[in-house]
Amino acid sequence: MDNDHDRQDHGHQENEAQGRTMSRRRFLAICAGAVVLAGGGWALSRTELAGRLAKHALGAAHGRPVLRDLRQVIASDNAHARTIMWQADVKWTDAVVEYRLKGAKAIESSPAARESFTDDGVTVELYTARLCGLEAGQPYEYRIKADGQYDDWHALQTDDGGAFSALIFPDSQSNDYTDWKHLAQGAAERNEGADFFINMGDLVDNGEDHRQWEAWFDAVAGIIDRIPVAPLMGNHETYNEDWKVREPVAYLHEFALPANGSEEFAGRYYSFDYGPAHFIVLDTQTEEAADFHQGLLEAQQAWFREDVKKTDKTWKIVLMHKDPLQYRITNRPDRQEGFSDEGRAWMPLFDEAGIDVVFSAHLHTYRNRGHIKDFQRDASGPLYILTGVAGNVRYPGLWVDHALDKVIAPQPETDNYLTLCVKDASVEIACFLPDGTEIDRETLRK
């Protein structure tokens, strides 16, 4: 739900809200996954493992490395750097990313660090390479070289510092990732010029379930290898298979994100620049983190103040998973309309910092609230957009409209995506249904 003070077995509450009970076995059945229960945890079946190893053997015979989930990850400075990651089922002793200006003969390379990553009873080899010293505004191409074998070339475009566009996907958590795949691929086809994409947290329904991560990556295949992802951590990234809170192990490994100066909270919050915009990505899972860490909110707020001071970008945009507003719920007459703990903690800082736009998620409903300052409607405050839902977990008729809601998605609500177009003098945000039908548009000017 929207406030984790209501978190008593939070994962099951969300499942009940949409009239479904999500079980791991049911998800695996939906995915038609061949798995066996062994050694107290779920592991690849012998058939699946044999199939993967056979692919590696076939790839080796053709001089090609077999890799999975190839992805670009956003960097702090996307004009001159990019992070490349992928996974494999075997250990390579010599893995690098080769890259060049598109069509050029001269090739440079960056070594890939390998990490054996185990979660959910499954171990994979995770490779990470950081490309630095790139030329701004140039088309590059890159490929993976591993133990003398070469992958295909993939596109990579650096930021030129000017206008750009991005795709924004709300929560993609699902009990069947078909809808998420359809939405993501359709949005990418309609917006071929998008420079990167954002996923607003709750990427998966259960953060420990490795098959859900595989389904998430499969849905964005052909997108994430050519444009970078800027992910947010959601509360569902912190759940184990018993729906208890744990460290977000998979999320923190799957995305090598820009440093935030904290060893303890590395990967949880970060910032990056693209064109004339500075993005600040927050970790709103302070209640979940309290079981393992103390002081996340205070450390993050101090970092936020310093981070904002350093930027000279025209536009300042915040991305946060949990929503700043609190809604009444149809089956909870005691719940009052107002602002969430996250809103009370962060909105005064957004006012102080002159933030232009705040994107949030978590409630699985699209709402444009217009501009808010000092907890009330004010044209001088940030624009607040609740981004909606990109997966198939929906809460029809659950939320009672908030007095600050300006535009609400058509009911009964379905999934949606957003586009963000930023220029020096304007920011344009639009929201679309899966078929490309526009349901809202907002423009800011300076």
Q: Which two tokens stand for residue 121?
A: 């009873």
What's the pLDDT at 185? Answer: 98
Q: Are 90 and 97 in contact (CB under 8 A)?
A: no
Residue 43 is predicted with a pLDDT of 37
Place domain 4-22+161-445 in its CATH homologous superfamily: Metallo-dependent phosphatases (3.60.21.10)
Q: Which run of H or E residues covers position 35?
A: strand 35-38
- Which residues face 372 on adjacent strands? 377
Query: Burial of 334 by CB count in 10 Å (0-12 exposed, 13-18 middle, 19+ buried)?
Result: exposed
pLDDT of residue 52: 52
According to CATH, the topology of domain 53-157 is: Immunoglobulin-like (2.60.40)
The Cα–Cα gap between 36 and 58 comes to 25
Per CATH, 4-22+161-445 and 53-157 having the same topology is answered no
pLDDT for 19: 34
The DSSP bridge pattern shows strands 366-373 and 376-377 to be: antiparallel
DSSP, collapsed to helix, strand or coil, labels residue 333 as coil
Count the neighbouring beta carbons within 10 Å of the beta carbon of residue 13: 13
Q: What residue spans define the domains of the chain?
A: 4-22+161-445, 53-157
Q: Which residues contact 103 (CB under 8 A, 6 or more apart)?
A: none
Predicted local distance difference test score (pLDDT) of residue 59: 52
Kindly state the helix (H) or strand (E) to which residue 86 belongs, with its residue range.
strand 82-88
pLDDT of 195: 98
CB 379 within 8 A of CB 371: yes
**The predicted structure's pLDDT at residue 35:** 27
Q: Which residues of the chain have pLDDT under 50?
A: 1-49, 53-54, 56-58, 61
The conformation of residue 239, written as its DSSP 8-state character, comes to B
Query: For residue 87, what pLDDT is reported?
Result: 96
DSSP for 106-130, written as a single string: --EEEE-EEEEEEETTEEEEEEEEE
Residues 6 or more apart in contact with residue 23 via CB below 8 angstroms: none
Bridge-based pairing state of the strands 357-360 and 338-339:
unpaired
171, β-bridge pairs: 389
